[in-house]
Chain A
Amino acid sequence: MRPAIVLAVAMLALAVSVPFVSQTAMLIALFGFIFSITAIGYNIAYGYGGMISLGHAAFFGAGAYTVGLMNRHLGMGELAVLLPLSMAAAVLVALPIAPIAARLSGLQLATALLAYSMLYYSLVLKLGPITGGSDGISIGGLAVLGYEFPDRQALGLFIYFASLALTVLALFLVKRFLGTVGGRLVLAARDNPLRLEFLGYVPARAKMAAFLISAAMCGLSGALYASALQFVNADLLYWTMSGEILFMVIFGGVGTLLGPILGAFVLSGLRFYIATTPDVGIYWQLALGVIIAATIYSAPRGLIHSIYRAATLIRGSKGGGHG
């Protein structure tokens, strides 16, 4: 365990110093941490709860639009209110579909959630006067505990550290949760729901809880994303967003603690490259498709497993791979 602690402290020190080293590195890491929260959340539903979702964009978008709509219509910019509110909003959006998600599996589940999230996509486009339609909403006047950010720089710095702290917190909480009876129930519901029923427990309950927790985390990260960009639009609700979230988790390692973070960083690095390099934006999907296919082919259990394997080989002894 000691090398792991040393490594963790080193990573943390690196993360804290990034903003003071390079602006570019900070931007990549900023979205890396925001999406880490998304991916950790998604992993709870998919990796631990066994619910493959193609609809988590709806929860991410719910968080983002909470910030956008409150800002646009009520002039609300207080993040200390907006961030918790966005989690509540995501849970609210997830609530009607959660009982269904908890009972389906495979293609039916993926499809139901895909359709459900596209509902919100269409809704946002249809309700243009309220939601800004396809133009989206610009966000201004963000503040935290009454302190209004003087410029983008300050805001970015705050969101960066907030996301870093929340990622660490999320990791810690997920690890704790997995150690509880409730956490083990989620894993058990994934592995063998019928057996749980024969022990007198309704597995859909654990799955629903996992699903709602997962939605809340996606909502939170959506709000952070909107705040960092000071902008939201309907693309956040499109199914490709759900696809990207799924890919982050698969790329990093499904059902592992650190895999989602790894996947989130790789994907946000790619996104940054695409966004800042002229004329490549339209190839994003092509690139994404190739990357996914290559990952599944070469590292079907995710990058984190390959890293663990390599570490194990180097140390020549045991190395953990289970979350």
Chain B
Amino acid sequence: MYEILFFSLVLGSCYALMTAGFNLLLGVARIINLAYGAYMALVAYLYSGFSESMPVPIAAMLAMAISVALGTFGWIILRFIRRDEVLMIVVSLAIALLIEGALIWGYGPYQRVVPALVSGSLGWVSAQWLLAILVSVAVLAGYYIIIGRTVIGKKMVAIAENADLALMMGINPAKVYLFTTFLASLFASLASLMISPFLTVSPQVAWLYLTIVLSVSIVGGLGSVGGSLIAAFLISFAERFSAYYLDPSVEPFVPLLLIILVLLFRPQGILGRGATRWA
């Protein structure tokens, strides 16, 4: 019971972290990135690959460095087509396929074990669980500090709220977008390092990550980081507890049920913005 409660917290904080990155891209840079899950899978593979030939912490840092650099400059591509939502969906999907294909090419289509970053445990609480919670909380807290206290953070908020107005006020968007893609890549990479050790990872793990991210952000409100925090825990708790009290096989349907309920009764999500004005 306590174990489930705690593990829900662990997963919830990972969900929150990964979705925060996705929603940052969406909310600030207006980038729809369906390759987000594939990107997280890439991080897991890099890390697991490096860890075969070097100590775990170094492997993790190397994987982070490479993937954050790739993401920061890579996702900017999607900015160029942001005028067309559908095109962005399609192109990012193509990128997802490319990444998935590259993983199969580089590592083979097999399942892999991703080593935990830290070993050992405190009673029934494994150290990786604690680390996952700590990192997620620390990063998200850091995020809110950046948003609230720093100039670049305030610019991000301004652009998210009204891009045209922000431009008129003389904010240079290029830097802000780059910072946004950097943060998003950082969140995605860290989240992947935290959550992947709990799973058996194959190239298809990309869609699992993507489904989680999409469910959480739809339930929480597309583009809303705050909403995704609430939704992340809602979904992780609902998943774990339904698996425990009902049947493990219902678990995958829980996020879906939540999505459908939300879309029926509150299409903009828990904290999403309403429709724009018209006529």
* Known contacts A114-B214, A282-B109; A119/B253 CB under 8 A: yes
Which residues of chain A are near B101, meaning CB under 8 Å? 282-289
Contact A115–B214 (Cβ < 8 Å):
yes
Determine the chain A residues whose CB is within 8 A of the CB of B207 once the complex forms.
Answer: 118, 238-239
Are A293 and B89 in contact (CB-based, < 8 A)? no
Please, how many angstroms separate the alpha-carbon atoms of A118 and B97 in the complex? 17
- What size tier do the contact residues of chain B reach? 35 or more
A296 at the interface (CB under 8 A from B): yes
Beyond A107-B222, A122-B253, whether A100 also contacts B214 by CB under 8 A is no
A112 touches B259 (CB 8 A): yes
A111 to B279, CA, bound (A): 28
Pairwise interchain contact B94-A282, C-beta atoms closer than 8 A: no
**Does B255 belong to the interface (CB within 8 Å)?**
yes
Q: Are B211 and A118 in contact (CB under 8 A)?
A: yes
Cα distance, A62 to B94, chains bound together (Å) = 25
Asked whether any CB of chain B lies closer than 8 Å to the CB of A199, the reply is no
Which B residues touch A103, using CB under 8 A? 267
* Distance of B204 from chain A, by nearest CB (Å): 8
Main SS of chain A's interface residues? helix
Complex: chain B residue closest to A291, CB-CB = B94
Minimal Cβ-Cβ distance residue in A for B35: A289
Check if A243 is an interface residue, CB within 8 A of chain B: yes
Residue A290 interfacial (CB < 8 Å): yes
Q: How near does chain A come to B81, taking the closest CB pair, in angstroms?
A: 8
Contacts of A289 in B (CB 8 A): 94-98, 101
Residue pair B256, A107 in contact (C-beta under 8 Å): no
Chain B residues within an 8 Å CB radius of A104: 263, 267
Would you call B249 and A126 a contact (CB within 8 A)? yes
Dominant secondary structure of chain B at its interface with chain A = helix
Select one of A108, A238, A246 contacting B90, CB under 8 A: A246
B264 contact from A100, A246, A286, A300, Cβ within 8 A: A100
Q: Does A250 contact B (CB under 8 A)?
A: yes
Judged by a CB distance under 8 angstroms, whether B44 is at the interface is no
Residues of chain A within 8 A (CB-CB) of B222 are 107-108
CB 8 Å contact bits of B222-261 with A (1 = contact, 0 = none): 1000000000000000000000000001001101100110
A52, A119, A250, A285: which has the most chain B beta carbons within 10 Å?
A: A285
Residues of A contacting B5 in the complex (Cβ-Cβ under 8 angstroms):
none
- Judging by beta carbons under 8 Å apart, are B32 and A243 in contact? no
B278 at the interface (CB under 8 A from A): yes
Are A122 and B97 neighbours in the complex by a CB distance under 8 Å? no
List of B residues within 8 angstroms of A171 by Cβ? none
Instruction: Mark out the residues of chain A between 272 and 318 whose CB falls within 8 Å of any chain B CB in the assembled complex.
Output: 282-290, 292-293, 296, 300
- CB interface residues, A 89-108, toward B, < 8 Å: 97, 100, 103-104, 106-108
- Whether A107 and B93, one on each chain, are in contact in the complex, defined by CB atoms closer than 8 angstroms, is no
The answer to whether B252 touches A108, judged by C-beta atoms less than 8 angstroms apart, is no
Q: Which residues of B contact A243 (CB under 8 A)?
A: 93, 97
Roughly how many angstroms separate A115 CA and B85 CA in the complex, as a whole number? 19
A8 at the interface (CB under 8 A from B): no
Q: Is A270 an interface residue (CB 8 A)?
A: no
* Interchain residue pairs with CB less than 8 A apart (21): A52-B86, A54-B89, A107-B89, A108-B218, A110-B89, A111-B214, A111-B259, A112-B260, A115-B211, A116-B260, A243-B97, A250-B90, A283-B104, A286-B97, A286-B98, A287-B101, A289-B94, A289-B96, A289-B98, A290-B98, A293-B98
Ranked 5 nearest A-B pairs via Cβ: A286-B101, A289-B98, A289-B97, A285-B101, A292-B94
Given contacts A104-B263, A286-B102, A293-B94, 5 further A-B contacts (CB under 8 A): A54-B93, A106-B86, A282-B101, A286-B98, A288-B101
